[in-house]
Chain A
Amino acid sequence: MQINAKASRENLPELLLFIEQACNRYQISKPICLNLRLAVEEACVNIIEHGYADLQTGMIEIAFQFRDNQVIITIIDFGREFDPTTYPPPDRSSEWDQRPVGGLGVFLISQLMDEVRYTSNPEQGNRLELIKKTE
């Protein structure tokens, strides 16, 4: 299953609904579906707000595959390169008044997925793969 949409906040509901519909089609359990939805939301928001920031808004393509008890979600964009696998982990230990308000989205992706892969080149764009086992 695949969806293409303009990378904008207005299209975020459609992109997330696609994930829910794909989970329903493949009978993915609700807890895993919620994790997948969350990871995709975080990835898409980063693309919308940072990947295409100050650039002409481009497209997001999301492909959903399910095989061998494994979900593979591939998210492709042509905005600025941003490899979430190299992003430093956020501060999660300082006191409440020192704790930064942002920076958790990328971390949640890495924690909720079993594997995250990222490649980038001018011809094929930025390709983020989110892999989650269902058993």
Chain B
Amino acid sequence: MSIVIAPADPAAEPQPGRSLWKDAWFRLKKNRLAMFGLWTMLLLIGLSILTPWIAPYGYETQDLALGAAPPSLSHWLGTDTLGRDLLTRLLYGGRVSLLVGFAATAVSLVVGVLWGTIAGYVGGVVDALMMRIVDMLYALPFMIFVILLMVVFGQSFVLLFLAIGLVEWLTMARIVRGQVQSLSRQEFISAAVVMGLSDSQIIKRHVVPNVLGPVMVYITLTIPAVMLFEAFLSFLGLGVQPPQSSWGVLIANGVETMEEYPWLLIFPGIALSVTLFALNFLGDGLRDALDPKSVEQNRIE
């Protein structure tokens, strides 16, 4: 590999120091696909927030006489079997899906990264203890766990993404722990110890930034998984309840009537796919942006 180093220009003023984060943002901005993903996500989030004001109909407004109608001028995406406007239901469903997706992933991110980092960094007995707890939770039948939560605390939205998040963090913790373990054997961690940094400073400045790559990728996989999971829970009657809706629920219902009313499957499907694409582009872009070595690829574009 030939790395070309710019010849030192004696006249060049030494620039002030730049941080990884500023650099990352600078690089992300140059990645067109990632920016497309970012704008798409912002658009979807914006639409979800504004839904009550922009939705053409109420999400439970029925027009039984109309029944399941194909897309038309008055109902852009058609209506479902009860004559409810699909666009409206998609918008409202998006609120649920995006909220569950992001919130549950955020829970799993915070808990998983912290747990995995501490276990991997400290090692020894602490590591063994922490990871055995993870193993035990893995072994717990998850459905029973969620149902139990729902029964004890009653059905609520917050509980839904807490429950999902509390399960998703297990995998995150395992991934992060593995990464941290191999990282902490690297000499730059030893160098940081010798320098006199405390453990928390080392974790914050040297360990976490170096595990962000795989974490980013895993997040982009988790968000859609969580959205589908929510659909499954709703199907069992543990998630959102009719007449409320989510993309997962809409897709599940759409599948049942796929042959007669294909638009009931196609449009929710498109909404979910677009989200997943956007998240993937954004996730890949973030991973590259946080990796200084990828700067060369960005320069080509």
Are A and B subunits of one complex?
no
Chain A residues near B (Cβ < 8 Å) = none
